[in-house]
Amino acid sequence: MSAYEDVFRSSTDDPEAFWLKAAESIDWHVAPTRALDASNPPFYRWFPDGELNVCHNALDRHVDAGRGEQAALVYDSPVTDTRRTYTYAQLRDEVAAFAGVLVAQGVGHGDRVVVYMPMVPEALVAMLACARIGAVHSVVFGGFAPKELAVRIDDAAPKVIVSASCGIEGKRVIEYKPLLDTAIELATHKPSASIILQRPQAEAAMGSNDVDWVEAAAAATPADCVPVKATDPLYILYTSGTTGKPKGVVRDGGGYAVALNWSMPSVYDVGPGETIFTASDVGWVVGHSYIVYAPLLTGATTVLYEGKPVGTPDAGQFWRVVQEHGVKSLFTAPTAFRAIKKEDPQGEYAAKYDLSSLRYLFLAGERLDPETYRWASELLDIPVIDHWWQTETGWPIVANPAGIELLPVKPGSPTVPLPGWDVQVLDTNGKPVEAGTDGAIVVKLPMPPGALPTLWNDDERFVSSYMSAFDGYYLTGDGGRIDSDGYVYVMGRTDDVINVAGHRLSTGGMEEVLASHPDVAECAVIGVADQMKGQIPRGFVVLKAGVDRSEDELRAELVQLVRDQIGAVASLKDVAVVAALPKTRSGKILRKTMRGIADGADEPVPGTIENAAVLDDLRPVLRRS
């Protein structure tokens, strides 16, 4: 039996023993005597009688163990030309001070704190400070517009918001404070204060409810770690569903800490004192898990990179970071490599740097296309590891478990299920399909620790979104197959979620915005293949009868509307005005057919005679790249 099979089998033979053993590498205030509470399916609870503090596990325990002088966090920001290293002792002290600021603002156990920050160390400090006092953070990605932020403020009902005066996108300085103020104005729930980190690139005008981060931290009494139940929420992370209303994925602290701590040596092969560079954003799950929590729980060094892989100043920044900080594992989305390849197809920048510390490249967030896999493998000559997971799962479902055993790579497959994940493929009737046959990828319940226990304040939506399609299974929303060697192939979403440059977005949400325009009668947004971003959204609108105005002007208005309502990150740049949209007899728009035609498939015309004419008209528009 291979080492991987051995570990996987022990997780399925006796999950209780497997996860209790994994839990031993976490410091508990009250050690759990049981791993899983399965008394109320599909609501599973991990380590129900355990108590811990995740911040203690991420910081204090390493300082207590004598490793206070080791680098915990390296902030590397080419856009501000800054490099700063925080030792574990320094980071603990910063976090304790900021936890004191939160306490002084009346934040306590179970209170929510929304964090709307660029990629600066203070974003991590705010998150860990919440964990320290048992508050629940909800980080909102900086590329979202005020309305999206307002929706999240209303759902999470935070006591305070933590933000910064600005973010930096390449050479552009984006003022966050006006966006935050607009969001608070739009929201029904009003937080009692906003704590603002002033950045020199654009200082914000402060209002009566605003607190200056630096002044408040200087005056604060440092706060200690508060033990909380393992099942208490550590954070809420909103993610796109099929409608405009995001889903508040809840993460419990105990299960998450155990799962992440297991994954670091087993999947990423990173141990104490070693360096991982996860080029993502703290606003996404990849950032939560592998910029912040997992590296620190393990006692490793994490690199926080503020910038893009290309542009400011050049396409060699990832390689510079690897050399300067001795990075062992680099984790990003395939789109970042496509961006680098476009600027530097011959890898001339990579050749300038000493990359000898780099042992692995991990890629996730979207399908890894074979050409990017080939290019990255040849450029770096190290294992390139595709792995598949989701905001909901918190850590990888399927990966090549490099730290246990590097299995042979099959391009196009993120390899095999990790312990705890019973991945299956079902047909539309809920029957398992033959090996190699496509279907809905599901996970047999219970899922392992770290996976979402529910949605924030919405058990019903948790059940209807994930647990109702197939009884006893979690619906991942991805389609694909498993081959006869047990390798999983993830082919894409089966719902209205798309992945644009590794960012998860809802086409349904964009449709809601387009439909709100007074001239639009109906609309469709579909994700189409894009060489750089993997997928991009394209919009199609049918105008109301009698609307007679410049199409160019209207298109620009619609693009701007989505940018204003959802954010620049939506990347909707192309809206076409069409005469009609193809529909089923019951009136549902044939988005899948439209997607197929846009991506080059010669779809037979389904449905009615009318659709044939509609699709004939649409075909040239859909095929235009």
| Binding at 265: pick from ligand COA, ligand AMP, none (beta carbon under 5-8 Å per type) | none
| CA proximity to 207, closest of 144, 161, 158 | 161
| Binding at 275: pick from ligand COA, ligand AMP, none (beta carbon under 5-8 Å per type) | none
Contacts of residue 579, Cβ cutoff 8 Å, sequence gap at least 6: 542, 614, 617
Q: Any contact of residue 574 with ligand COA (CB under 6 A)?
A: no
Contact between 575 and 558 (Cβ < 8 Å)? yes
**Beta strands at 228-229 and 384-386: parallel, antiparallel or unpaired:** unpaired
Q: Any contact of residue 308 with ligand COA (CB under 6 A)?
A: yes
Task: Give Cα separations from 19 to 8, 125, 265, 448 (angstroms).
Answer: 12, 29, 15, 9
Q: Any contact of residue 333 with ligand COA (CB under 6 A)?
A: yes
Contact between 264 and 395 (Cβ < 8 Å)? no
Using alpha carbons only, how large is the chain's radius of gyration in Å? 24
Instruction: Return the range that interacts with ligand COA (CB under 6 A); candidates 48-56, 274-282, 290-298, 435-443.
Output: 274-282
**How many of the other CB atoms lie within 10 Å of CB of 51?**
18
Q: Specify the residue, 503 or 595, whose C-beta has the smaller distance to ligand COA.
A: 503
Q: State the angle between helix axes of 609-623 and 591-598 in degrees (0 to 180), rounded to the nearest 10.
A: 40
Q: Any contact of residue 307 with ligand COA (CB under 6 A)?
A: no
| Binding at 302: pick from ligand COA, ligand AMP, none (beta carbon under 5-8 Å per type) | none
| CA proximity to 99, closest of 64, 120, 127 | 127
Residue span 378-407 as binding mask against ligand COA, x where in contact by CB under 6 A, dash where not: ------------------------------
Contact between 174 and 201 (Cβ < 8 Å)? no
Q: Which of 156, 336, 554, 577 is in the footprint of ligand COA by CB under 6 A? A: 336
Q: Any contact of residue 449 with ligand COA (CB under 6 A)?
A: no
- The minimum distance between CB 566 and ligand COA, in angstroms, equals 10
Q: Any contact of residue 501 with ligand COA (CB under 6 A)?
A: yes
Instruction: Return the range that interacts with ligand COA (CB under 6 A); candidates 29-37, 423-431, 457-465, 565-573.
Output: 565-573
| CA proximity to 395, closest of 369, 359, 420 | 420
Contact between 599 and 528 (Cβ < 8 Å)? yes
- The minimum distance between CB 234 and ligand AMP, in angstroms, equals 17
**How many of the other CB atoms lie within 10 Å of CB of 131?**
29
Q: Which of residues 347-366 bind ligand COA (CB under 6 A)?
A: 365
Q: Is 281 strand, coil or helix?
A: coil
Supply 338's token pair: 């496509």
Where do contacts with ligand AMP occur on this chain (CB under 6 A)?
A: 239, 284-285, 364-368, 386-388, 390-391, 414, 477-478, 490, 493, 499, 504
Q: Specify the residue, 397 or 577, whose C-beta has the smaller distance to ligand AMP.
A: 397
- The minimum distance between CB 379 and ligand COA, in angstroms, equals 17
Size of the chain, expressed as the number of residues it contains: 625
Q: Any contact of residue 332 with ligand COA (CB under 6 A)?
A: yes
Tell me which residues touch ligand COA (CB under 6 A): 142-143, 167, 169, 174, 279-281, 284, 286, 308-310, 332-333, 335-336, 339, 365, 500-503, 568-569, 571
